[in-house]
Structure 1
Amino acid sequence: MRCIPEEREALLQFKAAIVDDFGMLSSWTTPHCCQWEGIRRSMSGEIHKSLVELSQLQYLNLSKNSFIYTHIPEFLGSLRNLKYLDLSSCRFQGQIPSQFGSLSHLKYLNLAHNAMNGLIPHQFGNLSQLRYLDLSYNYFEGNIPSQLGNLSQLHELYFGGGYLDNLKISDGGQWLSNLLSLTHLSLDFVSNLNRSHTWLQVIVKLPKLRELSLFHCSLSDNFILSSRTSKFNSSTSLSVLHLSQNSFTSPMVFQWVSNITSNLVELDLGYSLLEGSTSSQFNMVMNSLRHLDLSSNNFKAKDLKSFTNICTLCSLYLSSNKFTEDLPSILGNLSSGCVRHSLHELDLSSNDITGTLSDISVFSSLKTLFLDANRFNGMIHEGVKLPSTLENLSISRNFFQGGIPKLFGNACALHSLDMSYNSFSDELSMIISHLSGCARYSLEELSLQSIIPTSMGLLLDLQALLLRNNNLVEGIPFSLSNCTKLVMLDM
């Protein structure tokens, strides 16, 4: 089908206003504009008003371009047949055109990751077909318009995400009660949530809500204490809850969470001030929890006993806490319950853990272990075994000496090993030799800090080799040419 001449001319005028340094629109020359390659990225300039001639346009995606210092053109509100509009990551400034409220067929609207400011137009309440609305990572201010409660078809709604946001929730969030189709909700950086509990009572009643993000909302222990007088119907649909960068200090937040939802799968409480042990009741209620993020808090080794009997837990993130004990003490507190069989990923990086590496094979399902940026020292004993399931191990930025045990080479699932920035003294040829068991067929990424060993070619599946900050005096060994799967080499 040949395209309509008026529409072809409109697209060519649009192209003329674009700075296309990478030739992304180079195919826009043939008579058949229906075959032209679509717009992708790395463009700047301006959006030409000729687009209004495309009266039947339903899908417009200009995301990830660079319309820096420009406003969103008001004439886009004249494209009344639009169903999909993505203007995210375009560096737009200024306010959202109120004319967007006339796009009555719109089902998808994404304006995230720009630099827009001012009020969110109340005319958005006219977009009755809308199912997806993302306004995050901008600089909006004022109340979230209650007219958004008219969007009964909405599935996903995202606000906040920027430190310069000054959004507030209006009407105690009562307007949220009409969004019965909502599955994903982000109220990140909404600043007045700690002053009322009405919004929370409304949210936990939404029948389809699966994910809720309340990142950096100034919620505190006082908010929890004052909410005890409120009656909550525990949500049966909510499975993902993000509460990071709030001001919780007491472990009573765990009990509060268990009162809100009974089927939680993922909980993020990172970057708070939490310390101490939670009650055993949390373990019993959290019978579906798989991912728990407690990074950047004040937990100690003895507090880990609180989580040992969450038998579904797969991922536990504990980086940047207050662990000062040796690894056997920490793992002993964590491995006394069923979690030692369920845990797949454990992050203990950026703490002050002392001593040397101990046997971690008690965690029979562990796939990823991060121990980097601690205070480990001394030699790794020959008897240290890795779980047979382990795929990723990082022990970088410590003070390990000597080399690695031969048993490391029996980790037949090991894909990635980061040993950089330590004080290993063994010749790397010996280290590589110790990895030449069944690990030689699985290891894909290796990060080291020493002279390249002549036996590097033993690692047949190696894809990435990182050797920064070394003093290479012997040259590059010919055996490296045996690593025929190598993709990245960093010297």
Structure 2
Amino acid sequence: MTFMFVVSVVLQVAYGQHHIRCIPKERDALLQFKAAIVDDYGMLSSWTTPDCCQWEGILCNNLTAHIIRLDLHGEVHYEYFYRYGYYGVSQRYISREIHMSLMELRHLRYLNLSFNDFKDTNIPEFLGSLTNLRYLDLSSCRFSGQIPTQISSLSHLKYFNLAHNYYLNGPIPREIGNLSLLEYLDLSGNSLEGSVPSQIGNLYRLQYLDLRYNSFEGEVPSQLGNLSNLHTLYLGGRYDLKVVTTDQWLSNLTSLTHFSFNSISNFNSSPSWLRTIAKLPKLRELSLIECGLSDHFLLSFNPSNFNFSTSLSVLRLSDNSFTQPTIFQWVSNTTSNLVELDLSSNLLKGLTSNHFGLAMNSLEHLYLSNNLFKGEDLKSFMNICTLHSLYMDGNNMTEDLSSILHNFSCGCVRYSLQELSLRNNQIKGIVPDLSVFSSLKILDLSDNQLSGKIPEGTRLPSHLEQLSVRFNSLEGGVPKSFGSTCTLELLDLSDNKLSEDLTVIFNHLSGCSRYSLEEIYLGQNKVNGTLPDFSIFAKLETLDLRLNQISGTLPSNLATMFSSLKELYLDSNRLNGTISEDLRFPLELEELSLMSNSLKGVLTDSHFYNMTKLRILMLSDNSLTLEVTQNWASAFQLDSIELRYCSKMVLDQIWIVKLDEY
């Protein structure tokens, strides 16, 4: 019986059924850490109960109750928004400073504080006393100062990430070579300077090394050739780093699968480097970006005695000085299994031979943006039957869109292509029938010179998910045939000259696309009429109607009309009338802009009833009064509010994090 009891206890402990409360000394240390932190987003809100092992971000050892894991990484999610560029749509982080009480967590094996805001503070030296650490991630924390040498005391460390702390400066401490168990080291995106220390060559177990985008100078140390387990090596970018005369060290890295030289100033002075790289037996991805490569340099390699490893699937040669389309023939002669080729930001122009398309029977992604290609040059790629993505933004296409696509669609690529971007050219004409590209999912024709009305009956590819034709000169409205694309999720026709009635536009979109559309952008046109009933667009999350000529009042049933809406932009229109007391804004709304209209009335607590996600509220340039009772506990917290020329009765400062009045 005693034996069975002991076995039962052991099994309970082993499988976490026997609960052990945290150690008081370590709990006190965490509370001191919390007291020094600003926690605007409630990441530490669970840190109040007696048992710290149950707190968010904490993991304790089931046998000893010591804290072995502290994971408080922040979260910032970015979304591309066409008018303002990239911005964070949601975030959750802690800030201020890391308290030295963490020294008490002597058994800590895992520490992740990435994506938080420790601006104007240095990386704490006391972290070097946490000698049981195996994992340390302090990336994207806005640290400044230098990397403390005490880090070299972390003799068990396997993973070390300090990436993207832009103000982190000074040299890489030579003592970093003492971290003999290190397998992953990322110091990219900082302002580190001086030479790359040769002591990194002592990290024999290292598998991943990223030193890009710093301010290093001097030569890449040949001791990196000692890292025989290295599978990923990224060097260069934003500094004057050079390769040493001999390439012998690189030939030792036979485990390399991912290799990048970015802005290595003297790479093109020694052809032997490329020969050495080509012989790396396991290489899958190669990036030689902004290395001064030219037609003459590459064409000096005779394909008959020069070939890349058959494992190479990704080749990036962007931001170099290639001018002639013979580069395509060179690529097809020296590589046989490429899946991705990037030649963007060169000076390429002209047709290449059909041999390229026929030889590249694995190529799926081709990036040729920011070159000098004409529309007729697309014919060079019409026979790449495996091609999924083609990006040709910012070239020199001035022809009619119909002729460009007709020539391109004569080959088998029309059946395989899924993404096509021709934005930022000078393409003319109307939007033609596009249905010939039967697999196309994403089409971007923005920033061109398309004009006139989109002909009624113009068909979209049957699987199209995203169509962007913004920043052109299109007139009229949206053809009814667009509403028959049952997979369409995003439609962007903003910044054109559309002038159709808004109700007619949405009637034309009310075919099967009403079940799929999530984002509609019609801003900065001449669209008129009143707001129709949008309720049949069940998945709509973003609606941009700003800078048009829409009139009438705000419907009181906005909440039921937009059950899924997250972003609503109605600013700079002709909306008028008094805000109804019965109006309720959509519950999922995160951003609302009603600026620069002629709306009147009082907005109160009740208009925002049950809203939990609102972050941005823009009401400026109306005749509105915002009246919020002082004891109202809102369920949301604004990042920004604009109330110019509005009356503000009571504003609870807990509700508003940042008040922007202009």
TM-score bracket for the superposition, by shorter chain length: over 0.9
CA distance in structure 2 between the partners assigned to 1:17 and 1:224 by the alignment: 60
CA distance in structure 2 between the partners assigned to 1:53 and 1:251 by the alignment: 58
Residue in 2 that maps onto 1:276: 350
Q: Once structures 1 and 2 are overlaid, which stretch shifts more, 88-97 or 471-480?
A: 471-480
Structure 1 residues 218-233: aligned runs within 5 Å: 218-228=292-302, 231-233=305-307
Residue in 2 that maps onto 1:453: 531
Say whether residues 1:81 and 2:156 are aligned partners.
yes
Q: Per the alignment, in what secondary structure is the counterpart of residue 289 of structure 2?
A: coil
CA distance in structure 2 between the partners assigned to 1:18 and 1:204 by the alignment: 53
After superposition, give the CA deviation of every residue in 1:41-82 in whole Å (9 maximum; x if it has no partner).
1224233332232222211111111212x0000110121111
Whether the 8 Å CA contact 1:10–1:54 is kept in 2: the answer is no
Residue in 1 that maps onto 2:9: none
Match among 290, 293, 309 for residue 235 of structure 1: 309
Residue in 2 that maps onto 1:443: 517
Residue in 2 that maps onto 1:305: 379
CA distance in structure 1 between the partners assigned to 2:511 and 2:36 by the alignment: 57
Whether the 8 Å CA contact 1:63–1:89 is kept in 2: the answer is yes
Match among 549, 552, 562 for residue 474 of structure 1: 552
Residue in 1 that maps onto 2:273: 199
Q: 1:75 and 1:16, CA in 2 relative to 1: closer, same or farther beyond 3 A?
A: farther
Whether the 8 Å CA contact 2:344–2:371 is kept in 1: the answer is yes
CA distance in structure 1 between the partners assigned to 2:24 and 2:294 by the alignment: 61
CA distance in structure 2 between the partners assigned to 1:359 and 1:159 by the alignment: 46
CA distance in structure 1 between the partners assigned to 2:26 and 2:150 by the alignment: 16
Structure 1 residues 194-343: aligned runs within 5 Å: 194-228=268-302, 231-343=305-417
Match among 237, 241, 245 for residue 161 of structure 1: 237
CA distance in structure 2 between the partners assigned to 1:127 and 1:434 by the alignment: 63
Say whether residues 1:135 and 2:214 are aligned partners.
no
Which amino acid is the alignment partner of residue 476 of structure 1? L
Q: Per the alignment, in what secondary structure is the counterpart of residue 267 of structure 1?
A: strand
Say whether residues 1:484 and 2:559 are aligned partners.
no
CA distance in structure 2 between the partners assigned to 1:348 and 1:254 by the alignment: 20
Match among 436, 449, 456 for residue 375 of structure 1: 449
Q: 1:81 and 1:458, CA in 2 relative to 1: closer, same or farther beyond 3 A?
A: same
Q: Per the alignment, in what secondary structure is the counterpart of residue 489 of structure 1?
A: strand
Per-residue deviation, 1:477: 3.3
Q: 1:118 and 1:8, CA in 2 relative to 1: closer, same or farther beyond 3 A?
A: farther
After superposition, give the CA deviation of every residue in 1:390-422 in whole Å (9 maximum; x if it has no partner).
110011111111112111111011000001111
Q: Per the alignment, in what secondary structure is the counterpart of residue 92 of structure 1?
A: strand
| Gap runs ≥5 in structure 1 | none
After superposition, give the CA deviation of every residue in 1:319-375 in whole Å (9 maximum; x if it has no partner).
111111111110011001000000001101111111111011011111110011111
Q: Per the alignment, in what secondary structure is the counterpart of residue 241 of structure 2?
A: strand
Q: 1:351 and 1:166, CA in 2 relative to 1: closer, same or farther beyond 3 A?
A: same
CA distance in structure 2 between the partners assigned to 1:180 and 1:410 by the alignment: 54
Per-residue deviation, 1:283: 1.3
Per-residue deviation, 1:483: 2.5
TM-score relative to the length of structure 2: 0.70
Which amino acid is the alignment partner of residue 302 of structure 1? E
CA distance in structure 1 between the partners assigned to 2:521 and 2:174 by the alignment: 53
Structure 1 residues 172-183: aligned runs within 5 Å: 172-183=246-257
Per-residue deviation, 1:36: 5.2
Q: Per the alignment, in what secondary structure is the counterpart of residue 295 of structure 1?
A: coil
CA distance in structure 1 between the partners assigned to 2:157 and 2:262 by the alignment: 28
Residue in 1 that maps onto 2:227: 151
Per-residue deviation, 1:5: 9.6
Which amino acid is the alignment partner of residue 388 of structure 2? C
Say whether residues 1:65 and 2:65 are aligned partners.
no
Which amino acid is the alignment partner of residue 155 of structure 2? R
Larger Rg computed on CA atoms: 2
Match among 155, 166, 178 for residue 102 of structure 1: 178
Whether the 8 Å CA contact 1:20–1:43 is kept in 2: the answer is no
Q: Once structures 1 and 2 are overlaid, which stretch shifts more, 289-298 or 466-475?
A: 466-475
After superposition, give the CA deviation of every residue in 1:216-249 in whole Å (9 maximum; x if it has no partner).
1111122123334993133201101111111111
Residue in 2 that maps onto 1:365: 439
Match among 123, 131, 138 for residue 55 of structure 1: 131
Match among 105, 125, 130 for residue 201 of structure 2: 125
Give me the identity figure in percent: 52
Whether the 8 Å CA contact 2:465–2:488 is kept in 1: the answer is yes
Q: 1:191 and 1:129, CA in 2 relative to 1: closer, same or farther beyond 3 A?
A: same
Q: Per the alignment, in what secondary structure is the counterpart of residue 535 of structure 2?
A: helix
Whether the 8 Å CA contact 1:417–1:446 is kept in 2: the answer is yes
Which amino acid is the alignment partner of residue 163 of structure 2? S
After superposition, give the CA deviation of every residue in 1:454-476 in whole Å (9 maximum; x if it has no partner).
13333222111112333553132
Q: Provide the alpha-carbon RMSD of the alignment.
A: 2.5
TM-score relative to the length of structure 1: 0.93
Whether the 8 Å CA contact 2:363–2:386 is kept in 1: the answer is yes
CA distance in structure 2 between the partners assigned to 1:483 and 1:284 by the alignment: 50
CA distance in structure 1 between the partners assigned to 2:21 and 2:127 by the alignment: 18
Per-residue deviation, 1:25: 6.7
Which amino acid is the alignment partner of residue 92 of structure 1? L
After superposition, give the CA deviation of every residue in 1:7-40 in whole Å (9 maximum; x if it has no partner).
8999899x59976565767849977661755434
Per-residue deviation, 1:181: 1.1
Q: 1:272 and 1:72, CA in 2 relative to 1: closer, same or farther beyond 3 A?
A: same
Match among 465, 469, 474 for residue 543 of structure 2: 465
| Gap runs ≥5 in structure 2 | 1-19, 54-65, 73-112, 571-662
Q: Per the alignment, in what secondary structure is the counterpart of residue 171 of structure 1?
A: coil
Whether the 8 Å CA contact 1:367–1:390 is kept in 2: the answer is yes
CA distance in structure 2 between the partners assigned to 1:10 and 1:85 by the alignment: 24
Which amino acid is the alignment partner of residue 136 of structure 1? R
CA distance in structure 2 between the partners assigned to 1:18 and 1:232 by the alignment: 60
Whether the 8 Å CA contact 2:206–2:227 is kept in 1: the answer is yes
Q: Per the alignment, in what secondary structure is the counterpart of residue 214 of structure 1?
A: strand
Residue in 2 that maps onto 1:351: 425
- Which structure shows the higher helix fraction? 1
Whether the 8 Å CA contact 2:122–2:146 is kept in 1: the answer is no
Q: Once structures 1 and 2 are overlaid, which stretch shifts more, 467-476 or 77-86?
A: 467-476
Q: Per the alignment, in what secondary structure is the counterpart of residue 227 of structure 1?
A: coil
Match among 187, 196, 199 for residue 261 of structure 2: 187
CA distance in structure 2 between the partners assigned to 1:198 and 1:10 by the alignment: 56
CA distance in structure 2 between the partners assigned to 1:85 and 1:297 by the alignment: 39
Say whether residues 1:420 and 2:469 are aligned partners.
no
